[in-house]
Chains A and B, each alone.
Chain A
Amino acid sequence: MTNSFSEFENAKLFFCIGTNMTEAHPVASYFVKRAVNKGAKLIVADPRRHALADKADIYAQIKVGSDVAFLNGLMHVLITENLYDKKFVEENTEEFENLKAAVMQYPVDKASKISGVSEDVMREIARTMASIKPGMLCYTLGITEHTCGKNNVMSTANLQMLLGNMGVECGGVNPLRGQNNVQGACDMGALPNVYPGYQKVDDPAMKEKFMKAWGVSELSQKPGLMIPDMMAGLPTKKVKAFYIFGENLANTEPNITHVEHELASAEFLVCNDIFPTETTRFAHVIFPAAAWSEDDGTFTSSERRVNRVRKVKQAPGLAKPNWWIFKEIARRMGHDWASSSAREIWDNELSVLAPAYGGIKYYRIEQDGLQWPCPNEEHPGTSFLHRDGKFSRGKGLFKGIQWTPPAEVEDEEYPFVLSTGRRLFHYHSRTQTGRAGMDMILPEETADISPSDAAKLGIKNNEYVIVSSRRGTVKVKARVTGQIPPGLVWMAFHFRDGNANWLTNNVFDPETKTAEYKACAVKLEKVV
């Protein structure tokens, strides 16, 4: 997030696209709803009319995968009606003409046809956003989990720069991150192209710096593989050994049948986990790990805040902290690492090597955490980025973006669009929530369908249906709900039975390699 949760309550306008906040980030939604009750405007754009839409001033039921066209259409109104922030654009951005050239190809009637949102509603949204400044743009995986995910993200940035909503309190582009520490894992350099603190592996100066810090004579300058390419390398034997730490890929990656084939062909698979999972079935070695509350450490939240996590119990049996397991493997491969606690790793290594964390030390985050960038120990942390429109690269770069449809769209044989996500009472593949009593509230998967499709197919609420795609078939109960528009089926991936990922399409954004979990074609049949 460029901005912070504490700004939500005082915001004047929210534009929430592809985020079902009330279920996926409930506490963030409290602050949005409170702001709305105090007079803030709320615009919600989502294929599902989920609970946040009930609080919205304007709700746009956009078609799955139409985001770029929809956002370009809004920008078309802003530019043609002269409603954009010319001063901000002139002073703080570049390549406006590039953006304009692309946006001009999406007049409202065309954008409306692609997105399914009426021309009037599109104009109303654009004019509302132009008249109330600043506004906060929030998104979640509805934006990123598409083959055009990167383009979707860039379009949200285009819109906020065009409105001059960057670099100010209560503005910005704010992706709410799905996992407790997905921000942190990125920051730590668990990415194939960067060292901790986003320092590039192909930069010789960075290579030197880390060689010295880690006491090694060589480091690879070649960016590594992303997850889908790693897994594709298993059957071809390009990847011989695969090490999975705490991820249940067999349930959470798209197209389970294909994923399991890949995992089964691994020559050597190692897992660290706290439970046996569908993924550890394929392992050759499983290391038992300490869980949350069994080790001291830090998580970094969506708002870039480094928060402490504390130990209150011993890990069961022989289970050990994950950092210890990696350190021990390193030692057995001839490398002795000095740090022997999470605190030593943070204080003596990470915060020294990553400039944005230079000022974050354990002693400073005993209570509220600190938000990076925090370059020195006197620095109070940074609540919002790009202050006064000063972007990290200098000027904000507009990029003209063309809309592309999802890789697989509905047709005669598979006439429904399947979109997927998370529900309030469970988390991912339920390894945790399934062992914390949440099944009492939500005991099985459902396929959420519209009342009109249900009536057409003679399906009643709670009746079993068969949902199938080109990749698989599941039998689940139908949940008939007005949240879903005709033509859409919506499912989650919490349960092994009826998991949406038996159906989802293993196609990826060409650059981010994010899978298109949000769109594929399925058919729906009543069980007779």
Chain B
Amino acid sequence: MSKTLIINGEEYAFDGSKTVLQIARENGIYIPSLCYHPRLGPLSKCRVCVVEVDGMRGLQTSCSLFPTDGMRVQTDTARVIEARKMVVNMLLANGNHNCMICEMNGDCELQDAAYHLGIEFPAFLVEQKEEKDDSSAFILRDPGKCIECGRCIEGCNRMVVNEVLDFGFRGGHTQVICDTGIPMGESSCVQCGECVQLCPVGALIEKKGLGKARRWETEKVRTTCPYCGVGCQLELHVKDEQIVRVTGVEGARPNQGHLCVKGRYGYDFIYSKDRLTTPLIREGKDFREASWDEALDLVANKFKEIIKKDGPDAIAGVSCARSINEDSYNMQKLFRAVIGTNNIDHCART
């Protein structure tokens, strides 16, 4: 028999595998959270997701609270709202949260929390934190925006097990550090960007996308990574045919949202000015530009001539292990059905 959880007076059935936060969200009840990420599970650090529970002393973090049968939870009492406001106000005061120019504007979980709590202006004075860390090739760290939720640290150590990030220093001086507190670009970081994908605010940002698009301007297109054979699923964030950012598709097989440095940051070769843009035909030591008709006819006629003179086995072809299946299919079909040879291979065994 299923058990019942009562949230704000409404009954919800549950089976015991989910937390109060998960059940609430699945049923359209907004509880703000900052350190919680579905992939990481409860970290119980930020205390923004607190709720009031009948019979329990003190407010409870809903991200780590598993319901019991008949549990009564209130998500919006004055006491809850006051506690959340205090937490968010403290976080806002503890950094430089200037939404106007922040890359995460529109996709920031701190901004969402402040919006829902109606915090028009931080209640406390803003304290400027340390400088941005610009040392890494692809990742910009802005400690001024860090809310020390710990998601990046969990991702780095528990998810991708690259073991670079940790909390350093103590109390009010606590901050996320790389290795022993050295700049990211000098550390053992391999720039997989797991931390960037998990960051709920603008403290870890892709450099390649800086200034290219506001979050709401991009269209998200799912695709497959063009590098190794793992087949990671990517989400391309595209504005006007420009990929401005790449993230791993959360929950997708096989990569479950994770990526490596090439998959996340190796995408912009397609925009290189070196691209071949027209058919080329050799003329002495150089090439001259040609139309498709001229180049295609030249190749077709040359193949026909060789087949006539030397037979189809005098033509051989190497297909591409990087391009799509359908390209390889058509190439082998050209060799077998049109030219008349099985001289078709690719770098299959290397």
Which residues does A use to contact B, with CB under 8 Å? 4-6, 24-28, 30, 33-34, 37, 55, 141, 144-145, 149, 176-193, 195-196, 201, 210, 214, 216, 218-220, 222-227, 230, 233, 238-247, 249, 252, 268, 270, 272-276, 283-289, 291-295, 297-303, 305-310, 312-314, 316-323, 325-330, 332-335, 337, 342, 345-346, 349-350, 367-369, 424-425, 427, 431-438, 440-441, 509, 512-515, 517
Inside 8 A of A270's CB, which chain B residues have their CB?
299
Inside 8 A of B137's CB, which chain A residues have their CB?
437, 440-441
Question: Which single residue of chain A is at the shortest CB-CB distance from B191?
Answer: A441
B41 at the interface (CB under 8 A from A): no
B270 at the interface (CB under 8 A from A): yes
Bound-complex Cα distance A450 to B322 (A): 34
State whether B265 touches A436 (Cβ < 8 A): yes
Top 8 closest A-B pairs, CB basis?
A317-B277, A301-B231, A297-B324, A246-B320, A177-B229, A224-B342, A26-B260, A332-B300
State whether B230 touches A27 (Cβ < 8 A): yes
State whether B326 touches A276 (Cβ < 8 A): no
Main SS at interface, chain B: mixed
Inside 8 A of B335's CB, which chain A residues have their CB?
224
B316 at the interface (CB under 8 A from A): yes
Q: Which of A178, A195, A224 has the most CB of B within 10 A?
A: A224
1/0 per position for B217-245, CB-CB distance to A under 8 A? 00001111111111111001010011100
State whether B269 touches A191 (Cβ < 8 A): no
| Distance to closest chain B CB from A317 (angstroms) | 3
A-B contact count (CB 8 A): 446
State whether B331 touches A322 (Cβ < 8 A): yes
State whether B338 touches A333 (Cβ < 8 A): yes
Of residues 285 to 342 in B, which have CB atoms within 8 Å of A's CB atoms? Answer: 287, 292, 295-304, 306, 310, 312-342
The answer to whether residues A368 and B253 also contact, given A28-B230, A184-B328, A322-B330 and a CB cut-off of 8 A, is: yes
Inside 8 A of A226's CB, which chain B residues have their CB?
345
State whether B229 touches A180 (Cβ < 8 A): yes
B281 at the interface (CB under 8 A from A): yes
B350 at the interface (CB under 8 A from A): yes
1/0 per position for B231-274, CB-CB distance to A under 8 A? 11100101001110000000011110011111101111110101
State whether A180 touches B255 (Cβ < 8 A): no
Inside 8 A of A286's CB, which chain B residues have their CB?
276, 279-280, 287
Instruction: List 11 additional A-B contacts (Cβ < 8 Å) besides A225-B343, A305-B254.
Output: A176-B230, A184-B324, A188-B332, A227-B318, A241-B314, A242-B318, A288-B276, A293-B223, A299-B224, A299-B324, A512-B349
B180 at the interface (CB under 8 A from A): no
State whether A345 touches B326 (Cβ < 8 A): yes
Inside 8 A of B303's CB, which chain A residues have their CB?
241, 329, 333
State whether A178 touches B228 (Cβ < 8 A): yes
Inside 8 A of A285's CB, which chain B residues have their CB?
279-282, 295, 298-299
Bound-complex Cα distance A276 to B282 (A): 13
Inside 8 A of B317's CB, which chain A residues have their CB?
242-245
State whether B326 touches A220 (Cβ < 8 A): no
State whether A310 touches B342 (Cβ < 8 A): no
State whether B337 touches A335 (Cβ < 8 A): yes
Bound-complex Cα distance A312 to B243 (A): 8
Inside 8 A of B258's CB, which chain A residues have their CB?
27, 30
| Distance to closest chain B CB from A417 (angstroms) | 19
| Distance to closest chain B CB from A267 (angstroms) | 8
B164 at the interface (CB under 8 A from A): no
| Distance to closest chain A CB from B315 (angstroms) | 5
Question: Which single residue of chain B is at the shortest CB-CB distance from A275?
Answer: B274
State whether A178 touches B350 (Cβ < 8 A): yes
Inside 8 A of A300's CB, which chain B residues have their CB?
231, 325
B68 at the interface (CB under 8 A from A): no
Q: Which of A183, A190, A301 has the most CB of B within 10 A?
A: A190
B346 at the interface (CB under 8 A from A): yes
